[in-house]
Amino acid sequence: MISTYSLLLLLIATSSLAFSAEAALATGYYDSTCPQVEKIVKAGVANAAQSDSRLPASLLRLHFHDCFVQGCDASVLLDDTPTFKGEKTAGPNNNSIRGFEAIDAIKSSLESSCKGVVSCADILALAARDSVVLSGGPSWEVPLGRRDSITASFSGATNRLPSFFSDVNGLIKSFTDVGLTAEDMFTLSGGHSIGQARCLAFVSRIFNDSGSGSPDPSIRPSFLSALQSKCPQTGSLSSLQPLDATTINKFDNQYYLNLVLGKGLLHSDQVLFNTVGVARNFVKAYSADQSKFFSNFAGSMIKMGKLSPLLAPKGIIRSNCRVPR
Ligand code: HEM
């Protein structure tokens, strides 16, 4: 006869299996239902990048902003309506996240080929990987099988996404709060190897750092004067500057080398090198070893892509990524 104790053990074992994302997300998830999925997403990303060289960066960021807010469930893609408040107008996203038309185009190709099968959340995960590869970065197999939410969280998007004003501990906390580690933060920050930021994200540090009346002294003088001329105090705060001015649009380890040289664009970038300790050690290691950065980046992206996915029977497959049905 099975004892109460062994029954309890069995229960714990089966329930932890049932709730393990690892058990359900799988690389061959659409092999029988939509074998062309990877080809279609890749072509969609390449096509969109042809008319907009910033697009790969924007798609990489979309997946990050999706996963950090109620998990990788495509909540970030939902449009506001008079009766539904999505995440698009939350502080970190407002007038900033982009790439929605490219996702729409990919979704409509997928709906033509395999109607009602591929989730918007999986499109975001694949598009992020394809964007990195297209920009010269590492590749990885993307575990698939996420489903889409019918909800979004404005407050989550406001509070969960890391701030460019944060110091290292604040940045680490944003990552550990969602189940990632400090090392994931040091590594995924390397996403800033591509893409752009508005002047408003760094204007205070080039003129009046933390209210001191002076620029952040850790900014290299030549870089500082270039930034001050491109983002004058009286100019438009929506003007853009590359996050990695040395190899714009190329995914490489130059971002980390820039930090060593005092050429980080955002406060949240430069603090990784300025703060003595583990963060600085990672910056130094990655600046000297691109392949280490690449393999860790791929690993951390896979981890980020597994944050609280909606697994069948939860969630839905949206037919339009902007609408929760
Ligand atoms: C560590 C904390 C992070 C902070 C504080 C942060 C903050 C920012 C800010 C302020 C911008 C510019 C937004 C604008 O001015 O419109 C930006 C852009 C970007 N971020 Fe991050 N980010 C972080 C982590 C990440 C991660 C983990 C990734 C991806 C793995 C990422 C990928 C990007 C990309 C690619 C862009 C450029 C997007 C474009 O050009 O459209 N960031 N980030």
65 is catalytic: yes
The band of 155, judged by pLDDT with boundaries at 50, 70 and 90, is very high
DSSP 8-class letter at 72:
S
Structure tokens at 138: 């590492």
Three-state DSSP class for residue 62: helix
Residues of the chain with CATH 1.10.520.10: 24-161
* pLDDT value at residue 23: 52
DSSP 8-class letter at 266:
S
State how far the Cα of 47 lies from the Cα of 255, in Å rounded to an integer. Answer: 26
Higher-pLDDT residue of 153 and 15 is: 153
Over 60: is that where the pLDDT of 3 sits?
no
Q: What is the pLDDT of residues 95-142, one digit of tens each?
A: 999 999 999 999 999 999 999 999 999 999 999 999 999 999 999 999
66 appears as a binding residue in the annotation = yes
Q: What is the pLDDT of residues 182-195, one digit of tens each?
A: 999 999 999 999 99
232 appears as a binding residue in the annotation = no
Over 80: is that where the pLDDT of 15 sits?
no
168-303 belongs to CATH 2.40.50.140:
no
Please provide the CATH number assigned to the domain covering 24-161. Answer: 1.10.520.10
Residues of the chain with CATH 1.10.420.10: 168-303
Pocket test for ligand 1, best of 65, 100, 140, 189 (most atoms within 8 A of CB): 189
Q: What is the pLDDT of residues 16-72, one digit of tens each?
A: 444 444 458 999 999 999 999 999 999 999 999 999 999 999 999 999 999 999 999
The C-alpha angle with vertex 271 and arms to 190 and 244, in degrees rounded to 5, equals 40
Q: How far is CA 161 from the centre of its chain?
A: 10
Instruction: Look at residues 159, 174, 146, 187 and name the one whose alpha carbon lies nearest to residue 93.
Output: 159
For 277: left if phi > 0, alpha if psi spans -120 to 50, otherwise beta; the answer is left
Could you give phi then psi for residue 316, rounded to 5 degrees? -135, 170
For 213: left if phi > 0, alpha if psi spans -120 to 50, otherwise beta; the answer is left
Mean pLDDT, the chain, integer? 94
* pLDDT value at residue 16: 41
Three-state DSSP class for residue 163: coil
